[in-house]
Amino acid sequence: MKIYYAPNTRAVRIVWLFEELGLPYDLERFKLGDAAMRAPEYLKVHPMGRVPALQDGDVSIFESGAIVQYMLAKYGNGRLVPDVSSPDFPTYLQWLHYAEGMIMPPVNTIIVETLLLKPERRNQTNVDRAIKLLSQMLTAVDDHLKGREFLAGAFSGADIMTGHACIVATRLGADVSDKPNVAAYVERLQARPALQRAWKA
């Protein structure tokens, strides 16, 4: 299987997943902004010219959450997903999708407004609003993690998705000084050898 990857992107989630599952993979590496990501050949893999994307034989799939769900359904053999009969299963689904639905939109705004746009085009009002919204999103995670080590029972795909989003938020400077459960959760995840290998991919 081939993972289309660029450092410090959502593609880290997919390498992390493969490392946790002990599955082999080939990496097609890009740097953000590479012209190759806009080449016709790659646009057949990911029509937006972004990462991650996965090729598994004749299957080509993009969007990190979809890839995580696909891989666990096809190759997980019950790992990293609560059984559908478990009370943890609906909780797992909620936090599997929380990353992209709630945390990453304000993260994206912050990245665009502080890193990608030229200074004269940046809008501090947008940044301030995104920071406030991000704090609210992380507060919900903090509240849920009270008395929990992971989001849905044992470590799962939900932690790969929403945990990665929490890590990205803190790397961007999100203040978690009033969110001790998130701060401890991020430290636990960062200590996982599989994630450490994914960061170095």
pLDDT of residue 132: 95
> Cα 158 from chain centroid?
9
59 plus 128 within the same structural domain: no
Last residue of a domain, one of 79, 103, 133: 79
CATH of the domain at 98: 1.20.1050.10
- How many domains would you assign to the chain? 2
Same domain? For 106 and 26 the reply is no
pTM: 0.95
Same structural domain, 18 and 65: yes
- pLDDT for residue 124: 95
126 and 181 fall within a common domain: yes
User: What is the SS3 assignment for 60?
Assistant: strand
Nearest to 107 by CA among 7, 6, 5, 8: 8
Q: Do 92 and 148 belong together in one domain?
A: yes
pLDDT value at residue 40: 94
**pLDDT at 4 (0 to 100):** 98
The residue segments making up the domain with residue 51 are: 2-79
Same domain flag for 192 and 146: yes
Which residues on neighbouring strands pair with residue 54, listed in sequence order? Answer: 3, 61
Q: For residue 96, what are its two tokens?
A: 């599997």
- What pLDDT is recorded for position 32? 82
Question: Could you tell me if 46 and 121 lie in one domain?
Answer: no
Question: What tokens were used for 27?
Answer: 């990496």
The residue out of 17, 46, 79 marking a domain boundary is 79
Q: Note whether 97 and 121 are same-domain residues.
A: yes
Which of 106, 92, 79, 99 minimizes the C-alpha distance to 152? Answer: 92
pLDDT in tens, the chain (201 residues): 999 999 999 999 999 999 999 999 999 999 988 899 999 999 999 999 999 999 999 999 999 999 999 999 999 999 999 999 999 999 999 999 999 999 999 999 999 999 889 999 999 999 999 999 999 999 999 999 999 999 999 999 999 999 999 999 999 999 999 999 999 999 999 999 999 999 998
Q: In angstroms, rounded to a whole number, what is the distance separating the alpha carbons of residues 103 and 89?
A: 21
Separation of alpha carbons 153 and 155, rounded Å: 7
Residue 33 tokens read as 């902004």
Query: Among residues 46, 47, 41, which one has the least CA distance to residue 14?
Result: 46
Q: Are residues 55 and 154 in the same domain?
A: no
Which CATH number do you get for residue 22?
3.40.30.10
Backbone angles phi, psi at 95, to 5 degrees: -80, -20
CB atoms within 10 A of CB 22: 8
Where a domain ends, among 60, 79, 98?
Answer: 79
> Looking at this protein, which amino acid is placed at residue 63?
E
Contacts 24+ apart (CB under 8 A), 41-48: 42/4, 45/4, 46/4
Which residue is listed with tokens 């936090």? 95
pLDDT for the residue 33: 81
